[in-house]
Amino acid sequence: MTIGTLTALVLLAAGLLFLAALGLGVWKWMAMVGAPDGRAHPYVDIAHRSALLYSFATAMIAIFVELSDWPTAVDATAATVLILMFVITIANYINHGIRRDTDNQMHNPPPSSRWVLVALIVGEIGGFCVLLTGFAAAQFR
């Protein structure tokens, strides 16, 4: 069985996110070993867990891409937006973990964070709605 090129690319992204999660797990473990209380910084932990979850979410996105009835360009745009939002979110968590500047990024956030959160909400929910409706259109004709 062959899969579409776009599906293969999304699965590659899922694999890369999973590989990143494994690497972040090593960072988390090293931080736990070196900490007096045996805990990594909260954002090291969050980066690791979110990368794991986003890798599996990306694999699920690949299924919706493969079974969607929309043109490839529509599916590619939706999947790219979703994956980009996942990567930006993980990178933000890594940044906080490296800087150790907060244990809750929602306390005293910069004013621009509201627009970033709106973009994440619209990008993630909107992107997935496009793929879900494409799937539904193909499966329930």
- Evaluate whether residue 6 is within a structural domain: no
Look at residue 141 in the predicted model and tell me its pLDDT: 84
What is the distance between the alpha carbons of residues 2 and 82, in angstroms, rounded to a whole number? 24
Question: Model confidence at 123, in pLDDT bands (50, 70, 90)?
Answer: very high
- Evaluate whether residue 46 is within a structural domain: yes
What is the distance between the alpha carbons of residues 104 and 87, in angstroms, rounded to a whole number? 19
Look at residue 100 in the predicted model and tell me its pLDDT: 95
Question: How many domains, in total, are found in the chain?
Answer: 1
Question: Model confidence at 83, in pLDDT bands (50, 70, 90)?
Answer: very high
Neighbouring CB atoms inside 10 A of 131's CB total 24
Q: Which tens digit of pLDDT belongs to each residue from 29-76?
A: 999 999 999 999 999 999 999 999 999 999 999 999 999 999 999 999
Phi, psi of 31 (to 5 degrees): -65, -40
**Domain with 35 in it:** 14-139
- Evaluate whether residue 3 is within a structural domain: no
- Evaluate whether residue 92 is within a structural domain: yes
Q: Which tens digit of pLDDT belongs to each residue from 4-19?
A: 999 999 999 999 999 9
- Evaluate whether residue 99 is within a structural domain: yes
Look at residue 1 in the predicted model and tell me its pLDDT: 75
Q: Which tens digit of pLDDT belongs to each residue from 90-106?
A: 999 999 999 999 999 98
